[in-house]
Amino acid sequence: MSHTIYFNKEHEQVRKSIRDFVNKRLNPFVEEWEEDGIAPLHDLFKEMGALGFLGIRYDPKYGGEGLDYWYDVIMLEECGRIRCGGIPMAIAVQTHMATPAIAEFGSEYLKETYLRAAIKGEMVGAIAVTEPDAGSDVAALRTYAKKDGDDYVLNGSKTYITNGTQADFLTLLARTSEDPGYHSFSLFVVPTDLPGFKVSRKLDKLGMRSSDTAELYFDNLRLPARNLIGQEGEGFIYQMKQFQHERFSTLPLCYACAEELIRETVAYLKKRIVFGEPLIKKQVLRHRLVNWLGEIECLRQLTYHIVRMKSVGLDATREISQGKVIGGELFNKVAYGCLQMYGGMGFMNEMWISRAFRDARLYSIGGGASEVLCDALGKLEGF
Ligand SMILES: Cc1cc2nc3c(=O)[nH]c(=O)nc-3n(C[C@H](O)[C@H](O)[C@H](O)COP(=O)(O)OP(=O)(O)OC[C@H]3O[C@@H](n4cnc5c(N)ncnc54)[C@H](O)[C@@H]3O)c2cc1C
Q: Considering the chain, what percentage of its residues have pLDDT values greater than 90?
A: 99
Q: Give the count of beta carbons closer than 10 Å to the beta carbon of residue 19.
A: 15
Residues 171-193: what's their mean pLDDT?
A: 97
Average per-residue pLDDT for the chain = 97
Which residue among 365, 370, 375, 377 has the greatest number of ligand 1 atoms within 8 angstroms of its CB, and so is best to mutate?
A: 365
Closest CA to 318 of 326, 128, 67: 326
Q: Report how far ligand 1's centroid is from the alpha carbon of 98 (Å).
A: 17
**What is the dotted CATH code of the domain comprising 237-381?**
1.20.140.10
For the stretch 41-67, pLDDT in tens is 999 999 999 999 999 999 999 999 999
For residue 219, what are the CA distances in angstroms to 44, 156, 238? Answer: 31, 7, 25
Q: Report how far ligand 1's centroid is from the alpha carbon of 165 (Å).
A: 20
Find the angle CA(83)-CA(338)-CA(29) to the nearest 5 degrees.
15
Q: Which residues of 31-41 are buried (b: 16+ CB within 10 A; e: fewer)?
A: bebbeebbbeb
- Ligand 1 atom showing the smallest separation from residue 158 Cα: 11
- Ligand 1 atom showing the smallest separation from residue 367 Cα: 17
For the chain, first and last CA: distance in Å? 38
Is pLDDT above 70 for 313? yes
Which residue among 372, 374, 377, 379 has the greatest number of ligand 1 atoms within 8 angstroms of its CB, and so is best to mutate?
A: 372
Non-local CB neighbours of 265 within 8 Å, separated by 6+ positions: 289, 338, 341, 342, 353
Is pLDDT above 70 for 1? no
For the stretch 75-108, pLDDT in tens is 999 999 999 999 999 999 999 999 999 999 999 9
CA distance 239 to 35: 33
Residues 231-240: what's their mean pLDDT?
A: 98
Residues 16-20: what's their mean pLDDT?
A: 98
Q: Report how far ligand 1's centroid is from the alpha carbon of 96 (Å).
A: 18
3-state secondary structure the chain: CHHHHHCCHHHHHHHHHHHHHHHHHHHHHHHHHHHHCCCCHHHHHHHHHHCCCCCCCCCHHHCCCCCCHHHHHHHHHHHCCCCCCHHHHHHHHHHHHCCHHHHHHCCHHHHHHHHHHHHHCCCCEEEECCECCECCCHHHCCCEEEEECCEEEEEEEEEEEECCCCCCEEEEEEECCCCCCCCCEEEEEEECCCCCEEEEEECCCCCCCCCCEEEEEEEEEEEEHHHECCCCCCHHHHHHHHHHHHHHHHHHHHHHHHHHHHHHHHHHHHHCEECCEEHHHCHHHHHHHHHHHHHHHHHHHHHHHHHHHHHCCCCCHHHHHHHHHHHHHHHHHHHHHHHHHHHHHHHCCCCHHHHHHHHHHHHHCCCCCHHHHHHHHHHHHCC
For the stretch 243-279, pLDDT in tens is 999 999 999 999 999 999 999 999 999 999 999 999 9
Residues 11-28: what's their mean pLDDT?
A: 98
Which residues are marked as active site? 246
Closest CA to 261 of 360, 328, 350: 360
Q: Report how far ligand 1's centroid is from the alpha carbon of 101 (Å).
A: 21
Residues 225-247: what's their mean pLDDT?
A: 98
Between 316 and 2, whose confidence is greater?
Answer: 316
Is pLDDT above 70 for 145? yes
Q: Give the count of beta carbons closer than 10 Å to the beta carbon of residue 181.
A: 10
What kind of fold does domain 126-232 have according to CATH? Butyryl-CoA Dehydrogenase, subunit A; domain 2 (2.40.110)
Which residue among 130, 187, 208 has the greatest number of ligand 1 atoms within 8 angstroms of its CB, and so is best to mutate?
A: 130
Q: Report how far ligand 1's centroid is from the alpha carbon of 136 (Å).
A: 5
- Ligand 1 atom showing the smallest separation from residue 368 Cα: 21
Q: How confident is the model at residue 287 (pLDDT cuts 50, 70, 90)?
A: very high
Q: Who lines ligand 1 at CB under 6 A?
A: 93, 126-130, 135-136, 160-162, 205, 208, 213, 362, 365-367, 369, 371-372, 375
* Nearest residue (CA) to ligand 1, atom 31: 136
| Domain locations along the chain | 2-124, 126-232, 237-381
Per the CB < 8 A criterion, the answer to whether 210 and 87 are in contact is yes
Q: Report how far ligand 1's centroid is from the alpha carbon of 16 (Å).
A: 35
Q: For domain 2-124, say whether CATH 1.10.540.10 is its number.
A: yes
CA distance 238 to 166: 24
- Ligand 1 atom showing the smallest separation from residue 138 Cα: 21
For the stretch 335-355, pLDDT in tens is 999 999 999 999 999 999 999
Residues 21-25: what's their mean pLDDT?
A: 98
- Ligand 1 atom showing the smallest separation from residue 362 Cα: 53
What pLDDT shows up at residue 3? Answer: 61
Closest CA to 141 of 90, 186, 201: 186
What pLDDT shows up at residue 4? Answer: 72
